[in-house]
Amino acid sequence: MKASTFALVFGIAYLGAGLLGLVPAALMPPPADAPPTHLGLMYGYLLGLFPVNIVHTAVHLAIGAWGLAAWTGRTSAVGFARALAVLYGVLAVMGMLPILNTTFGLIPLHSHDIWLHAVTALAAAYVGWREPAESHERRRMMMDRRQRMVPVAHERRFGLADRREHFGGGMSPA
């Protein structure tokens, strides 16, 4: 899977999860033994499985929007995958620790959220670090002549007969 496809799929998934977290009918009330949070607004279990509240839902919406932006090329899709791997890896570990499973009472990170965040981190790590970052997008390469706007007359003044020659000499691959 390409990094841009990963960004699209996970962007839509997390945007959908964030939108579903705003629908009260999709939230089940938390059980009596669930860890308490300081923010009780929209606190419940999404589809009866995943504990969410309004801050957790906002994070899902932001991650989904970032994924769609990475898919369109506004941000790096590889950078999105790598950041998602680190972020959700940390969140999965935090969910396993009893003192941090509600992020100091702000975001519930327990129950089924642990394995969901771990699977997301593993998938993002696979996509993000499978290839070097610089080979993914041609438009981000430093030696692309569209990025370094040098007039032809300036190049010929330095004795370069062809635009593909650099000031250091030699021909670069086309």
Q: In order along the chain (174 residues), what is the average pLDDT of each group of 10 residues?
A: 94 96 94 87 92 95 97 93 97 92 89 94 96 55 53 58 57 52
Residue 167's alpha-carbon distances to 19, 50, 142, 152, 156, in angstroms, are 53, 58, 15, 13, 11
Q: How far apart are CA 87 and CA 145, in angstroms?
A: 35
Q: Using an 8 Å Cβ cutoff, are 70 and 2 in contact? A: no
This prediction's pTM: 0.73
Cβ neighbours of residue 161 closer than 8 Å, sequence gap 6 or more: none
DSSP 81-119: HHHHHHHHHHHHHHHHSTTTTTTTTTS---TTHHHHHHH
pLDDT score, position 104:
85
Residues pairing with 45 in the sheet: 28, 51
